[in-house]
Amino acid sequence: MTTAPSAPRAPRTSLALPGPRAPMTPRALAASTASTAPATSITPAAPAPRGLPLGRADVEAAAARIAGHVRRTPLLAGPAGTELHRAGRRLLLKAEHLQYGGSFKLRGAANAVLALGARRIVTGSSGNHGIALARLAAPLGAEVTVVLAGGAHPAKIAVIKALGGRTVRVPGGVAERDARARELAEETGAVLIPSSDHELVVAGQGTVGLEVLAEAPDAETVYVPTGGGGLLAGVCLAAYGHPVRVVGVEPAGTPRYARSLAAGHPVRLAPGDTVADGLRGQQPGAVPYPIIRDRVDDLITVSDAQILDAAALLRRRGFEAEPSGAVALAGAIRAGRGTGLAVAVVSGGNTKAALMRAAAAGPPARAHCTA
């Protein structure tokens, strides 16, 4: 891995909020969201081993490695709703809902699997990362076991099984899920490929940012949905040395990065609930957290109602996006400021109908996909 740039952008400490209110400090935001996502403690979460620092070169290497396995998704015109019209903003949507496997997760999964040459894989996933690994594994002759928490979407579990993956259910939340995945990897000797907290996964997700900045170099702001933080950290890496503002968008019920930046260290939240089932992480990962801390410009929280409104807006525009995939658009609408070009990442399109089609189709016939 390469070292990060020697002079990254200074971290921003304010969080953007909509309307006429002034930006709040991270600590103030933590207090304001206390009722929706109580933290189990304010002590640092147990640190995971940290590998070498990442840099933009790692994202570029990932782009070359995964080029034959992922789709270069388009930037499409965003909805012309009244909210965006009032903001006076031009908006493009990075259409990762059109990615093979239905989400951006294929990028990080492919980078890790191909770089490691893994043939026995264990992961913890809310669904989309597990789908991505299972899709990759079958043509490559690898075996995948996906550990899922109690709130995992049944249709996503069905797709993982249809693709040949093995699933294990555990009670509790994301923390319990990931702990069981680590145990299984140790017990079986399989390679653990987490959904976000891994250098190769983060670098792979960062290819979303490379494509956005290559096609829209004049973008003023990029809005990124934030769960485990792998996509946000990857976009931050891709944006080093570029003046674009990177804004993470979290569900209001699970603001683990906003809370952690407010506290000055990673904190663990109690299991939270949100319609964005892919963004239910309880604590920042050891790999994404320092990258986000040092480069992200703002963090925005959005309510379930705002997420569902954004998903409905996308559907009216012809975008088949799941709630998690609509979170960045919800953040762009809520921010309500700026007159320059903005990009919102539509991170996934695994709606119930799309999942049913994927389960019926089964595994892909060949290992390499062409864009």
- Catalytic status, residue 156: no
Residues forming a β-bridge with 251: 302
Q: Residue 159 in contact with residue 363, Cβ under 8 Å?
A: no
Interatomic CA distance for residues 146 and 130, integer angstroms = 6
Sheet holding 143-148, edge to edge: 166-169, 143-148, 120-124, 191-192
- As to burial, measured by CB atoms within 10 angstroms (0-12 exposed, 13-18 middle, 19+ buried), residue 14 is middle
CA 52 to chain centre: 21
Contact partners, residue 110, CB within 8 Å, separation at least 6: 65, 66, 69, 70, 132, 136, 204
Interatomic CA distance for residues 230 and 211, integer angstroms = 16
Q: From the candidates 94, 103, 125, 126, give the one annotated as an active-site residue.
A: 126
Report the Cα–Cα distance between both ends of the chain, in Å, rounded: 27
The one-character DSSP state at 198 is S
* Side-chain-facing half-sphere of 245: CA atoms under 13 Å: 22
- Catalytic status, residue 126: yes
Q: Residue 345 in contact with residue 231, Cβ under 8 Å?
A: yes
Interatomic CA distance for residues 128 and 358, integer angstroms = 12
Helix, coil or strand: residue 151: coil
H-type helices in 102-252, by residue range? Answer: 105-116, 128-140, 154-162, 174-188, 199-205, 207-215, 230-238
Q: Residue 296 in contact with residue 250, Cβ under 8 Å?
A: no
- As to burial, measured by CB atoms within 10 angstroms (0-12 exposed, 13-18 middle, 19+ buried), residue 364 is middle
Interatomic CA distance for residues 171 and 192, integer angstroms = 20
Interatomic CA distance for residues 338 and 340, integer angstroms = 6
Tell me which residues are annotated as active site.
Answer: 105, 126
